[in-house]
Amino acid sequence: MSARADVIVLGAGIVGVSVALHLQKRDRDVVLIDRQGAGEETSYGNAGLIQREAVIPYTFPRELSVILSYAMNHRRDAVYHLSALPRIAPWLFRYWQNATPERVERSARALAPLMAQCVDEHEALITEAGGTAQSLVHRRGWLNCCRTEKSLRKAIEQAHLLDKYGVDYAVLTGAQLRQLEPHVSEAIVGAIHFRGSPTSSDPGMLTKAYADLFTHKGGRFLKGDARRLAALPSGWSVVSEKGSIEAREAVVALGPWSDLVFEKLGYALPFAVKRGYHLHLAARGNAGSGRAGAAAGARAVPAGRAGRRQTLERRAAMPARHAACDRQGAASCRAVVRFRPSAPRPDAWPGDRPPAGGDDDRRDAVRRPGPFRGRALWLSIFAD
Ligand SMILES: Cc1cc2nc3c(=O)[nH]c(=O)nc-3n(C[C@H](O)[C@H](O)[C@H](O)COP(=O)(O)OP(=O)(O)OC[C@H]3O[C@@H](n4cnc5c(N)ncnc54)[C@H](O)[C@@H]3O)c2cc1C
């Protein structure tokens, strides 16, 4: 005998948990399904920025010299595996197609109302979730640190593009930056301080706090394998630890694993998976007590449970999910070194690196090549 619900939400990352909470608010009887606890995958391994400023998506470069540097794998912010090229080429082509100024502008206009609400949406959930959630979120903005005058000028130019979207930021000289964060290295010549973007010291725990709110309010959160989602004449069913669940509607919020379900159902969604890395660094002095910061494509967040986390966010290593190096990648920053000869430089806030091994990890995220059209809707809170 199957249990019934109004909606099955597959995946208890930040997207699935938020969807479940909002459906619950609209009086739906929701069952949330995951193969493990809430927020233990991508929603754990990210930089924890609630990116109010992220209105303009990362786009495929249009300048030949920059494209060539990516093609040669000479970039810090993205790398690819040559063996993956045949598979990702069509996706890259669409990504490139969608990088015209008009299409980027269209994407930004579509994203703007979502990003304008992201902080208020989190604040509402944090208030409802209470103590733990409150302690995990810091409202001091994050810093985009620049090492050269040239990169600072570019960052200022990019920040100005956000003026029309109401993004709150300040341009800081090196001296102003060090007044705010005394431990920032002299190598940093200036920064953009995105004042209106809060950060979480532990995004995985924040997701768990939201999931607890969902169950506290009567939602059911069960273990199960989303790949066992099956279509019924009346809706959907999935097998959980407590037996079969049937519902009229289903939401797929499986992050980088969503295609495993969509493919079976005959959807070919234009998404690819990127991989990021993070490692844990010990903080020096009061470094880490303040704002999150980024320098040279790497992001660091204020110290969480295990010291400062350095997130190398935009390493679009592909293939990601199935790559054999997944487990090797868990050994300190060696995975990073393997892809690029230079080690990450977390000296925006100097800290001592712990010995290799142990507490670092990698997580995958999804990236889409351009505006999504069609009847199916796939939610990603990081809409790049
Ligand atoms: C390195 C890095 C840094 C990032 N930094 C930021 C940032 O600063 N700010 C920001 O907004 N975004 C950031 N992102 C993106 C952000 O982390 C993701 O967009 C977000 O976490 C995606 O959440 P999700 O719920 O879609 O996916 P996930 O958190 O991955 O959730 C998917 C869930 O599906 C479950 N699942 C998978 N397969 C099955 C199955 N077969 N059966 C049942 N359950 C299954 C998993 O266990 C998981 O809980 C970053 C991403 C990366 C990789």
pLDDT recorded at residue 317: 47
Q: b/e for 256-294, b at 16 or more Cβ within 10 A?
A: bbbbebbeeeeeeeebbbbbbbbbbbebeeebbebbbbb
Residue 90 binned pLDDT confidence (cut-offs 50, 70, 90) = confident
Confidence band for 290, pLDDT divided at 50, 70 and 90: low
Asked if the model's pLDDT at residue 98 lies above 80, the reply is yes
pLDDT above 90 (res 276): no
Q: Tell me the pTM.
A: 0.82
**Could you tell me the distance, in angstroms and rounded to a whole number, from the CA of residue 179 to the centre of ligand 1?**
35
CA of 65 to the centre of ligand 1 (A): 32
Minimal CA–CA distance to 32: which of 220, 256, 250?
Answer: 220
To the nearest 10 degrees (0 to 180), the angle between helices 203-216 and 14-25 is 30
Going by pLDDT thresholds of 50, 70 and 90, the confidence category of residue 341 is very low
Half-sphere exposure of 216 (CA within 13 A, CB side): 9
- pLDDT classification of 1: cutoffs 50, 70, 90: low
How many angstroms separate the alpha carbon of residue 21 from the centre of ligand 1? 17
Structure confidence at residue 311 as a pLDDT band (50, 70, 90): low
Q: Read off the pLDDT of each residue in 212-230 and give the average, rounded to a whole number.
A: 96
CA dist 131 and 149 (Å) reads 42
Tell me which of 303 and 247 has the higher pLDDT.
247
42 Cα–ligand 1 center, Å: 3
Which atom belonging to ligand 1 lies closest to the Cα atom of 37?
49
Query: Which of 35, 39, 28, 22 is closest to 211 using CA atoms?
Result: 39
CB of 36 sitting under 6 A from ligand 1: yes
Omega prior to 90 cis, within 30 of 0: no
Mean pLDDT (whole number) for 323-330: 35
- Summarize pLDDT for 73-82 with one digit per residue, the tens: 777 677 777 8
- At 284, is the pLDDT very low, low, confident or very high (cuts 50, 70, 90)? low
State mean pLDDT over 24-50: 92
Q: Does 202 contact ligand 1 (Cβ within 6 A)? A: no
pLDDT at position 140 over 50:
yes
Give the lowest-confidence range in 4-18, 51-65, 129-143, 310-324: 310-324
Rounded to an integer, the average pLDDT of 87-93 is 84
Look at 231 and 271; give whichever has higher pLDDT: 231
> Does 345 have pLDDT greater than 80?
no
Of residues 352 and 172, more confidently modeled: 172
**Token digits for 166?**
């109401």
Our answer on whether the CB atom of 311 is closer than 6 Å to any ligand 1 atom is yes
Ligand 1 site, residue 293, Cβ cutoff 6 A: no
Higher model confidence: residue 179 or residue 45? 179
- The answer, yes or no, to whether any atom of ligand 1 lies below 6 A from the CB of 49, is yes
| Per-residue confidence band for 286, with pLDDT thresholds at 50, 70 and 90 | low
Per-residue burial over 141-180, b if 16 or more Cβ lie within 10 Å, else e, is bbbbbbbeeebbeebeeebeebeebebebeebebeebbeb
Cβ contact 313:293 at 8 Å: no
Mean pLDDT of all residues in 12-24: 97
pLDDT at 293: 65
- What is the pLDDT of the chain when averaged over all its residues? 77
> Who wins on pLDDT, 336 or 211?
211
Nearest CA to ligand 1 atom 30: 42
* Ligand 1: centre distance to CA 41 (Å): 5
pLDDT above 90 covers a percentage of the chain that reads 45
| pLDDT of 95 above 90 | no
Q: Is residue 316 scored above 60 in pLDDT?
A: no
Smallest CA separation from ligand 1 atom 38, residue: 257
Cβ atoms of 328 and 335 within 8 Å: the answer is yes
The amino acid at residue 22 is: H
